[in-house]
């Protein structure tokens, strides 16, 4: 008989949770994005981890490391397609950096924050995206009015930021275009290190 652990969604009284606020200093983060879109592009996509359809704010996903951004975009393909990635998809991506101001985050990489929220890593990385999306919605709706949340990539366990499109935030962001992914030494190094073939 198989044994399973409970899937933890936010509790009904989540809005009353005493969640720590993490002061995240102004930083330069990474973004891997489509060539036709700017790096500063908020959206709600049902395929994205915290993008619940009922979220009152769109979300901008950023990585603290470029390799994390690459993993987040191509990790499923790499692991399910025998370390192969579509050449068309690879060449459609650009690298940018995004400067963000001081932020007030719900830091789910922090043990105390996670325990007070009553969330575990399995819920945040569940293949049933409705689970982490429920967490994204509940954190957006929390009365603390977080600017976003910080979480671990499910591929390389490095931090990412899901930034909420609250009033005035877009004007406080700036982007630095660094070129196409295929032309970058970081992209070449990633393919070599992980023995990935472009097809």
d(CA 79, CA 144): 38
64: tokens are 């603290």
Contact 58, 44 (CB under 8 A): yes
Query: What are 171's two structure tokens?
Result: 């004007």
Q: pLDDT at position 73, please?
A: 96
pLDDT per residue as tens digits for the range 78-137 = 999 889 999 999 999 999 999 999 999 999 999 999 999 999 989 999 999 999 999 999
For residue 155, count other CB atoms closer than 10 A to its CB: 18
- For residue 198, the 8-state DSSP code is E
Judged on CB neighbours under 10 Å (0-12, 13-18, 19+), 27 is middle
Q: Is the pLDDT of residue 2 over 90?
A: no
What is the CA angle 28-166-55, rounded to 5?
Answer: 110
pLDDT in tens, 5-22: 888 999 999 999 999 999
Locate 15 and state its tokens. Answer: 């809005």
């Amino acid at each position: 008989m198989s044994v399973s652990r409970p899937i933890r969604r936010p509790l009904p009284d989540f809005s009353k949770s005493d969640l720590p606020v993490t002061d995240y200093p102004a930083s330069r983060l990474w973004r891997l994005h489509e060539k036709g879109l700017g790096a500063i592009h908020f959206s709600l996509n049902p395929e994205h981890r915290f993008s619940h359809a009922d979220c009152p704010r769109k979300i901008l996903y950023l990585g603290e490391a470029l390799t994390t951004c690459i993993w987040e975009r191509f990790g499923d393909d790499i692991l399910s397609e025998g370390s192969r990635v579509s050449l068309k998809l690879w060449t459609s991506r650009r690298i940018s950096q995004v400067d963000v101001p001081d932020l007030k985050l719900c830091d789910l990489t922090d043990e105390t924050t996670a325990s007070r929220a009553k969330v575990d890593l399995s819920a945040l990385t569940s293949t049933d995206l409705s689970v982490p999306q429920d967490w994204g919605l509940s954190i957006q709706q929390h009365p603390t009015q977080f600017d976003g949340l910080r979480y671990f990539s499910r591929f390389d366990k490095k931090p990412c930021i899901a930034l909420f499109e609250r009033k005035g935030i877009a004007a406080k962001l700036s982007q630095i275009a660094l070129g196409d992914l295929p032309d970058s030494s970081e992209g070449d190094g990633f393919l070599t290190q992980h023995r990935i073939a472009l097809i």
